[in-house]
Amino acid sequence: MTKLIDGKIVAKEILDNLADEVLFLNKKPCLAVIIVGNDSASKIYVNLKKKKALELGFNSIVIELPEKTLEKDLIDKIEELNSDKNVNAILVQMPLPKHINPLKIIETISPQKDVDCFHPYNVGNISIGKKSYVYPCTPKGIIRLLEYYDIKIEGKHAVVIGRSNIVGRPLSQMLINENATVTLCHSKTKNLSEITKTADILISAVGKPNLVTENMVKDGVVIIDVGMNRLENGKLCGDVDFENVKDKASYITPVPGGVGPMTICSLMVNTYDLFKYQNSL
Residue 115 sits in the site that holds a copy of itself (CB under 8 A): no
> Residue 22 and residue 48: Cα distance in Å, rounded?
19
Contacts of 263 (CB under 8 A, 6+ apart): 137, 138, 141
Residue 281 sits in the site that holds a copy of itself (CB under 8 A): no
User: In the complex with a copy of itself, which residue's Cβ is closer, 49 or 119?
Assistant: 119
Residue 195 sits in the site that holds a copy of itself (CB under 8 A): yes
Q: How far is CA 237 from the centre of its chain?
A: 18
According to DSSP, the residues that pair with 168 across neighbouring strands are none
Pairing of strands 201-204, 3-4: unpaired
Q: How far is CA 269 from the centre of its chain?
A: 11
Contacts of 129 (CB under 8 A, 6+ apart): 176, 177
Residue 154 sits in the site that holds a copy of itself (CB under 8 A): yes
Residue 190 sits in the site that holds a copy of itself (CB under 8 A): yes
Which one of 12-20, 126-134, 214-222, 249-257 is the stretch in contact with a copy of itself (CB under 8 A)?
A: 126-134
CB of 125 to a copy of itself, least distance (A): 5
Closest CA to 115 of 277, 261, 279: 277
Among 42, 59, 82, 198, binds a copy of itself (CB under 8 A): 198
Among 176, 208, 229, 278, binds a copy of itself (CB under 8 A): 176
Residues that bind a copy of itself (CB under 8 A): 103, 119-130, 154-155, 157, 163, 165, 169-170, 172-173, 176, 179-186, 188-190, 194-195, 198
